């Protein structure tokens, strides 16, 4: 499976600011996804990052709050905008080579104060 | 939206015991996946199931895709201390779809 890295691994941010999270894969992949895992909870899909076009967002998530870029087949970014304490979560990217299997990065642990 | 009911929520077992957990859905999935998440890490894929009725093994792990495509179970035989963690089931409608996750089963092993 692909090696997936995320930067930063963790951060503490003040409310009202924005943080951009990077996801890098060591090989080209067809699909990239972004998930949120709130403290002690399961994973929830935020959006599918589409290469060369706008991301596809799930119900409850909007582009103004979570803008996503995917400039090529190995890289994507997720920005958490105008943060509030409710945005404190683990943010994870996952990748798929076109099969149904998805592989996850290590996650970015965000705390908003 | 789709929801997955995963049970049990937590399990306290003795080392060497067998473990069983399951997931049910209100909707049909084309793929069932089982993941394990250790503290501070991302989920790691354990088993993927593609066909209704399919039974797949990976070492001490065995998983089955329910015949109705609305459920799946995961069994772990002869548990060892490194099996401790949170196990998640996940369903997918297709290759381009994101995953819907269950709430997780916390496995705690008492020596």
User: What is the pLDDT, as a whole number, of residue B103?
Assistant: 96
pLDDT of residue A97 exceeding 90, the answer is no
pLDDT band at B1 (very low <50, low <70, confident <90, very high): low
pLDDT of residue B78 exceeding 60, the answer is yes
Q: What is the mean pLDDT of residues B23-30?
A: 93
| CB within 8 Å of B19: residues ≥ 6 apart | B11, B13, B75, B76, B77, B79, B83, B107
**pLDDT tens, A20-45?**
999 999 999 989 999 999 999 999 99
Pick the residue from chain A with its C-alpha nearest to B47. Answer: A101
Cβ atoms of A61 and B111 closer than 8 Å: no
Q: Which of A59, A100, A106 sits opposite B42 (nearest CB)?
A: A106
Separation in Å, CA of B111 to nearest CA in chain A: 25
**pLDDT tens, B51-77?**
999 999 999 999 999 999 999 999 999
Q: What is the dihedral of CA A40, B35, B27, B75, to 10 degrees?
A: -110
The answer to whether A45 contacts B98, with C-beta atoms less than 8 Å apart, is: yes
B96 contact residues in A (CB cutoff 8 A): 31, 48
pLDDT of residue B94 exceeding 90, the answer is no
**pLDDT tens, A54-90?**
899 999 999 999 999 999 999 999 999 999 999 999 9
**pLDDT tens, B96-106?**
789 999 999 99
The answer, yes or no, to whether the previous bond of B8 is cis (omega within 30 of 0) is: yes
Task: Collect all residues from B whose CB is shorter than 8 A from any CB in A.
Answer: 1, 30-31, 33, 35, 40-45, 48, 50, 88, 90, 92, 94-96, 98-104
Task: Collect all residues from A whose CB is shorter than 8 A from any CB in B.
Answer: 1, 4, 30-31, 33, 35, 41-45, 48, 58-59, 92, 94, 96, 98-107, 109
Instruction: Report which of A80, A102, A92, A95 is spatially closest to residue A15, judged by C-alpha positions.
Output: A80
Q: How many angstroms separate the CA atoms of A57 and B27, rounded?
A: 21
The DSSP secondary-structure symbol of A46 reads: E
pLDDT of residue A102 exceeding 60, the answer is yes
User: What is the pLDDT, as a whole number, of residue A99?
Assistant: 75
């Amino acid at each position: 499976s692909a090696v997936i890295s995320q930067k930063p691994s963790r951060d503490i941010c003040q409310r009202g600011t924005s943080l951009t999270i990077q996801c890098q894969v060591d090989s080209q992949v067809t699909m990239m996804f972004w998930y949120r895992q709130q403290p002690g909870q399961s994973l929830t899909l935020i959006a599918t990052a589409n290469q060369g076009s706008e991301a596809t967002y799930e119900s409850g998530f909007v582009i103004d709050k979570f803008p996503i870029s995917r400039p090529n087949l190995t890289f994507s970014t997720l920005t958490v905008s105008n943060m509030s304490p409710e945005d404190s979560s683990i943010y994870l990217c996952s990748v798929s080579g076109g099969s149904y299997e998805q592989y996850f990065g290590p996650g970015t642990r965000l705390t908003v104060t | 939206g789709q929801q997955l009911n995963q049970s049990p929520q937590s399990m306290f077992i003795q080392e060497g015991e067998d473990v069983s957990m399951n997931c049910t859905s209100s909707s049909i999935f084309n793929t069932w996946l089982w993941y394990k998440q250790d503290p501070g890490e991302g989920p790691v894929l354990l088993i993927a199931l593609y066909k209704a009725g399919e039974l797949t093994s990976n070492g001490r792990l065995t998983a089955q895709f329910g015949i109705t495509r609305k459920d799946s179970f995961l069994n772990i035989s002869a548990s060892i201390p490194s099996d401790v963690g949170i196990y998640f089931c996940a369903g997918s409608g297709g290759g381009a779809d994101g995953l819907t996750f269950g709430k997780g089963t916390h496995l705690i092993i008492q020596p």
